[in-house]
Structure 1
Amino acid sequence: MPRRKRGGDLASSAAKRRKKKESRRNETEEEHEARLQNQRTRMSNLRSTRSEERTANKSTEESRILKDNLTKEAFHYEPTKKYYNHKYVVIGKMNNVCQFCHAKKFSKETPGLCCMNGKIRLPPIEAPPQEFLHYMLGETLESKHFLQNIRSYNSCFQMTSFGATSTNTNRNEFEYVFSIQGQIYHKIGSLLPMSNEDHKFLQVYFIGNEEQEIDQRCTNFNGLRREIIQDVQRILHKYNQLIYIFKTTLDRMISDDYKIVIRADKRPRGEHERRFNAPQVDEVAIVVVDNENTSRDIIVHRRRKGLQRIAETHRSYDALQYPLIFLHGEDGYHFNIKQIHPETGIETNKKVTSKEFYAYRLMIRDNETYNHILNTRRLFQQFLVDMYAKIEAERMLYIRLNQKKLRTEEYIHLRDAIMNDGNIDDIGTMVILPSSYIGSPRHMHEYTQDAMTYVRKYGRPDLFITFTCNSSWPEIKEQLKYGQTSIDRHDIIARVFRQKQIRFIEVITKYHIFGTVISWMYTIEWQKRGLPHSHNLIWLHDKIYPTDIDKIIRAEFPDPQKDP
């Protein structure tokens, strides 16, 4: 109970009130206005403090409600609720470390994504020379220019030509995106040009004069800085092993009948990995074409007209095309890389696939201070596209060589359709793609039949939701270094979007944010600027009525104050 005031206290309070009235009666107009302003400020601060306390209490209560239940929460949307911080929505940080290869992963990523649970162990890529690293940091104007034009500088020094059915770099729209359509191929010419031709690609390295070599590169590629070309040229001549081999063997070629053979796979111990052959007669280099897969060696003539196509599975395929990524000429993927036993470290009979090889190379690891592949900006985009095309080519090669194991002779109806509807101009070696090959006609047809089955059994879908990727997600920005933007790291974008998509489907199907779900399906597409998005079809047990539409769909710009 409040303490009862005594008589003396009442008299003192009355005297204070009389004194305050007298003081206010005698104050000037300026003093009166100042007093009112102080009073307004004091009340405003008090109201603000109380509002913050109420907001904090409300947020705590809402957080408690969200943690307990999400059932049909979509029909009771509140702008003040921080849904993006909910434990069912957050994908967490990339802080799960593989015990075998020390790769950093998200909590929901598969254990074998990086090294197949210890079955793959590759030697680390040698760090670039110290004199080259200052170009990769993006701290000076010269470094920024180099990184902005790194694809052009790589083309200036590449030893093989890059070709594709169709390419698009999307220079004028949104962010820089490198994309191709059709088949990728690398070709290599002779060490020396014909008498009436200019030096190109690999031939530029053998001009013999540094200044003339720089002049030829500046002539072949406009807009590049001469001093940078000079520095990079000296670095490659000093450190790149492939260039060293070509230069030393060229001196031993006394006529144009000689050639260099770079073996496609590692040679057995005790033999040279790259051997120089001097044939007695001029032999025609075997070009790898669609119907011939017997030879994958690179055969480089001293002087010869024409180009040879390099097999995707040759171990020097990467280093010849990307000298600014593999400055030392390191070996890439080849067929003789074996898996190991995780406990004993002994090689097994199983081979490492190209997908597993490059998945290992693209991982972020705690024990790696600098992964040069991940820091090559726009050149990294081209490298990713090129290596994915290599992975697809290896899959196609396996399917073509293992038609009997896939029991394609039992596809009776498919064979009948080919025989009845086939075009005589398309006759050749018939290869049937199984439905397990993603993107094949039978794979897409199988998915279409699944979708039609859902519609026939459950009717039309209740929700069609498009889930888009945001390049400003904090999970993406946390992994960027050395002045990178999100568009420089499509590997991180793909991994983060995958985790977000998994959580998005879980919130709908497991935690019933729209109610109980009876079936669902989605497909992923890519925007012009290279960011993925998914189209999701949801079938609900309890149908959504027209009166509930406005609760889950808003066709308006949100108020930044009420719905931040």
Structure 2
Amino acid sequence: MSRNERGSAARAANAAAQRRRRERMAQARREAEALRDAERHRQRRAAQAEEEREALAERHRQRERERYAAQDDEQREAHAERERQRRADFGDAERAAHAERERQRRADMPNEVRDAERAANARGHMEGRRRADRANRAACDADSVLSGRQPVARLDTGVRNTVCPHCGALLWREERATLCCSGGKVNIDPLPAPPPLLRELWTGDTLEARTFRQHSRRLNTALSLASMMTREVRPADGGYAPSVIIQGRLYHRVGPLQARDGERPSFAQIYVNDPDCDDPAAEAALRLGHVPLPRGTREPERVRLLTLLEQLQVLLRQVNPYVQDFIHAAELPEEEVQQQRLVVSADARPADQHPRRYNRAEGFREVAVLMDEEPVHQDIVLRRRADAEGPFLQTVNETHRAFEALHFVLLLPFGTDGWQPDLRQAVANGRGDVRGVTLMQYYAHRLQLRPDLDDSLFRAGRLFQEYVCMAFARVETQRLLYLARNQAGLRAELYQRLQDALPGDAERELAGGDRVGQRVILPASFTGGPRYYQRR
């Protein structure tokens, strides 16, 4: 074959290959266009199905809203109760079968339907969160809520009839049994029932009982052995505050048993000022003079308060061991206590013997006599008179067993011990160790209503509010102290940009100056801290 023939054949083969390539490309474009058309058609069908489902769901929600609006409160409660009963009647096997059917239903769905359902659920969830956020922001406007411009939805938590199987506490249906006693690990002796007079004042419907409950906090302050030092937040206009709000750290302090020259006795000093109660009316007037009464308090109400103080101070002298011991300590001759110390031990004393570090003291129930030793920092040292160089008031350590009993004398008339570090759980853990009861566990157990026990604590009105505020402040203080003392265990030095947090302090330290304060890093798990809010 000549050269020209070979060139013609090559050109013909090349042209044929080009034609086949163009045909394949055209076929590929047709197939891709068909796939795109099919995808667009599928998306249109999915969108139409989603719109139909949304319309159907909206019609269903509208019918439910209309039906709910047509019902009265009794019908709504009955419907909710039937729904709760239906869920409660489900056994474990029925719940497992229902979950299996739901999984099978989702597995049988086409992918586009399943994706559309997930997207709809996500949109519904986000819309619910937006509505909740809008409602929360609107509810923060107190003027709108109180004036009625912003309606507030009714929240029904049901009936408090669930009984804890371990400690008998009454719980709401959504609360777990670990809330009150940690599943039986915490078992604290209940508070004893108050004396009949005090019980009648907590529960009675007489004018005196109502006056007592209305002014329970003021009466407790007038009769307490220790003063509470804190900053209480009150309305700026001086009006009525429905709640007790305290800010900052809370202290209980005890002063000397005898007032300084020229000063009026207060708190425990009033008990020892006149041990024989020659003039109970004058003593009651002295107590009431230390408690500011609301503006507009009328004379009949003031007379009732004086009468109540007379009765209660006599009662506490009869039943409260701290009152009796304080009076007895004040009656001791001066020469007998010069070389001794009268202390209220932070540790619970055995019922039948005294600790070796204390000498036996006749006539005392809670106070002991310490000789030739120094008291530990948790002990309360009773002073007959204020030292010239020492502080006038002594702060009661927050871990002391009498922290509550010295102040809340109307809630704890028998001087019942409160929380202390040696308090142990009733059940050992898996390793056989018996852990201590934390302060949070103590108050979670104490602040529960139990039908078969005395409920005077929960009838105390604003005094109960003060007790709860004290408990919260005490728990938070313990947590902050733990974090401050365990910074190495929390690896606080590994947090980033610590030196940038307080540049002035860092430069002062590098220059050899005094260190300003101490850095304490709060972890993100501490509720209310900066990193807690950043994480949320």
Deviation at 1:420, TM superposition (A): 5.6
Checking the alignment, whether the CA contact within 8 Å between 1:118 and 1:342 is kept in structure 2 is no
Q: What one-letter code is carried by the residue in structure 2 that aligns with 1:379?
A: L
Indicate which of 253, 259, 262 corresponds to 2:341. 259
Rounded to whole Å, the distance in 2 between the matches of 1:422 and 1:82 is 66
Deviation at 1:164, TM superposition (A): 1.0
More helix by share: 2
| Structure 1 residues 70-81: aligned runs within 5 Å | 73=61, 77-78=65-66, 79-81=69-71
Checking the alignment, whether the CA contact within 8 Å between 1:138 and 1:147 is kept in structure 2 is no
Q: What one-letter code is carried by the residue in structure 2 that aligns with 1:92?
A: G
Q: What one-letter code is carried by the residue in structure 1 that aligns with 2:455?
A: N
SS at match of 2:209: helix
Note the alpha carbon deviations across 1:109-151, whole angstroms, 9 max, x for none: 1221110000011111111111222211241111111111111
Q: Describe the shift of the 1:420–1:387 C-alpha distance in structure 2 as closer, same or farther (beyond 3 A).
A: same
Q: Describe the shift of the 1:411–1:214 C-alpha distance in structure 2 as closer, same or farther (beyond 3 A).
A: farther
Checking the alignment, whether the CA contact within 8 Å between 2:235 and 2:241 is kept in structure 1 is no
Indicate which of 199, 202, 211 corresponds to 2:265. 199
Q: What one-letter code is carried by the residue in structure 2 that aligns with 1:324?
A: L
Q: Paired residue for 1:158?
A: 224
SS at match of 2:404: helix
Indicate which of 415, 436, 441 corresponds to 1:351. 436
Larger radius of gyration: 2
| Structure 1 residues 233-272: aligned runs within 5 Å | 233-255=313-335, 257=338, 258-267=340-349, 271-272=353-354
Note the alpha carbon deviations across 1:400-444, whole angstroms, 9 max, x for none: 121111111211323442346779698123221111100011111
Q: Paired residue for 1:277?
A: 369
Note the alpha carbon deviations across 1:205-261, whole angstroms, 9 max, x for none: 112231445413413425363322121111101100111222333334524645321
| Structure 1 residues 124-273: aligned runs within 5 Å | 124-168=190-234, 176-206=242-272, 207-212=274-279, 214-222=281-289, 223=302, 225-255=305-335, 257=338, 258-267=340-349, 271-272=353-354
Q: What one-letter code is carried by the residue in structure 1 that aligns with 2:306?
A: R
Q: Describe the shift of the 1:375–1:213 C-alpha distance in structure 2 as closer, same or farther (beyond 3 A).
A: same
Deviation at 1:353, TM superposition (A): 1.0
TM-score (norm. length: structure 2): 0.62
Q: What one-letter code is carried by the residue in structure 2 that aligns with 1:323?
A: V
SS at match of 2:203: coil
Deviation at 1:376, TM superposition (A): 0.8
Q: What one-letter code is carried by the residue in structure 2 that aligns with 1:231?
A: Q
Q: What one-letter code is carried by the residue in structure 1 that aligns with 2:524?
A: S
Rounded to whole Å, the distance in 1 between the matches of 2:236 and 2:381 is 35
| Structure 1 residues 334-349: aligned runs within 5 Å | 334-341=420-427, 348-349=433-434
| Structure 1 residues 26-41: aligned runs within 5 Å | none
Where structure 2 has 5 or more consecutive residues not aligned to the other structure, the ranges are 1-56, 84-154, 290-301, 356-365, 509-513
Q: Paired residue for 1:455?
A: none
Checking the alignment, whether the CA contact within 8 Å between 2:234 and 2:241 is kept in structure 1 is no
Q: What one-letter code is carried by the residue in structure 2 that aligns with 1:276?
A: A
Q: Describe the shift of the 1:417–1:243 C-alpha distance in structure 2 as closer, same or farther (beyond 3 A).
A: same
Checking the alignment, whether the CA contact within 8 Å between 2:157 and 2:172 is kept in structure 1 is yes
Checking the alignment, whether the CA contact within 8 Å between 1:94 and 1:104 is kept in structure 2 is yes
Q: Describe the shift of the 1:237–1:269 C-alpha distance in structure 2 as closer, same or farther (beyond 3 A).
A: closer
Checking the alignment, whether the CA contact within 8 Å between 1:339 and 1:347 is kept in structure 2 is no
Q: Paired residue for 2:184?
A: 118
Checking the alignment, whether the CA contact within 8 Å between 2:343 and 2:381 is kept in structure 1 is yes
Deviation at 1:70, TM superposition (A): 9.6
Q: Paired residue for 2:93?
A: none
Note the alpha carbon deviations across 1:181-215, whole angstroms, 9 max, x for none: 22211111011122332211111111223144541
- Higher relative contact order by CA 8 Å / sep ≥ 6: 1 or 2? 1
Q: Describe the shift of the 1:172–1:198 C-alpha distance in structure 2 as closer, same or farther (beyond 3 A).
A: closer
Rounded to whole Å, the distance in 2 between the matches of 1:110 and 1:446 is 26
Rounded to whole Å, the distance in 2 between the matches of 1:75 and 1:246 is 71
SS at match of 1:317: coil
Deviation at 1:269, TM superposition (A): 7.5
More strand by share: 1
Rounded to whole Å, the distance in 2 between the matches of 1:401 and 1:145 is 46
Checking the alignment, whether the CA contact within 8 Å between 2:505 and 2:516 is kept in structure 1 is no
Which stretch of structure 1 is more off in the superposition, 429-438 or 86-95?
Answer: 86-95
Q: Paired residue for 1:329?
A: 415
Q: What one-letter code is carried by the residue in structure 2 that aligns with 1:440?
A: G
Aligned residues: 368
Rounded to whole Å, the distance in 1 between the matches of 2:527 and 2:535 is 11
Checking the alignment, whether the CA contact within 8 Å between 1:338 and 1:347 is kept in structure 2 is no
Q: Describe the shift of the 1:71–1:264 C-alpha distance in structure 2 as closer, same or farther (beyond 3 A).
A: farther
Rounded to whole Å, the distance in 1 between the matches of 2:241 and 2:258 is 39
- Structure 2 residue 474 is the aligned partner of structure 1 residue 390: yes
SS at match of 1:328: coil
Where structure 1 has 5 or more consecutive residues not aligned to the other structure, the ranges are 1-68, 286-293, 448-564
Rounded to whole Å, the distance in 1 between the matches of 2:528 and 2:505 is 22
Q: Paired residue for 1:405?
A: 489
TM-score (norm. length: structure 1): 0.59
Q: What one-letter code is carried by the residue in structure 2 that aligns with 1:437?
A: F
Checking the alignment, whether the CA contact within 8 Å between 2:229 and 2:250 is kept in structure 1 is yes
Indicate which of 383, 390, 393 corresponds to 1:301. 383
- Structure 2 residue 464 is the aligned partner of structure 1 residue 380: yes
| Structure 1 residues 492-503: aligned runs within 5 Å | none
- Structure 2 residue 159 is the aligned partner of structure 1 residue 93: yes
Rounded to whole Å, the distance in 2 between the matches of 1:388 and 1:406 is 23
SS at match of 1:350: coil
Rounded to whole Å, the distance in 1 between the matches of 2:385 and 2:432 is 41
Rounded to whole Å, the distance in 1 between the matches of 2:333 and 2:235 is 41
Checking the alignment, whether the CA contact within 8 Å between 2:398 and 2:474 is kept in structure 1 is yes
Deviation at 1:301, TM superposition (A): 0.8
Q: Paired residue for 1:435?
A: 524
Rounded to whole Å, the distance in 2 between the matches of 1:418 and 1:269 is 53
Q: Paired residue for 1:35?
A: none
Q: Describe the shift of the 1:351–1:280 C-alpha distance in structure 2 as closer, same or farther (beyond 3 A).
A: closer
Q: What one-letter code is carried by the residue in structure 2 that aligns with 1:363?
A: Q
Checking the alignment, whether the CA contact within 8 Å between 1:316 and 1:331 is kept in structure 2 is yes
- Structure 2 residue 311 is the aligned partner of structure 1 residue 311: no
| Structure 1 residues 416-495: aligned runs within 5 Å | 416-419=500-503, 427-447=516-536
Which stretch of structure 1 is more off in the superposition, 224-233 or 81-90?
Answer: 81-90
Rounded to whole Å, the distance in 1 between the matches of 2:341 and 2:507 is 42
Rounded to whole Å, the distance in 1 between the matches of 2:526 and 2:166 is 30
Q: Describe the shift of the 1:208–1:71 C-alpha distance in structure 2 as closer, same or farther (beyond 3 A).
A: farther
Deviation at 1:319, TM superposition (A): 0.6
Checking the alignment, whether the CA contact within 8 Å between 2:499 and 2:506 is kept in structure 1 is no
Which stretch of structure 1 is more off in the superposition, 191-200 or 149-158?
Answer: 191-200
Question: Superposition RMSD on alpha carbons, in Å?
Answer: 3.3
Q: Describe the shift of the 1:216–1:259 C-alpha distance in structure 2 as closer, same or farther (beyond 3 A).
A: farther
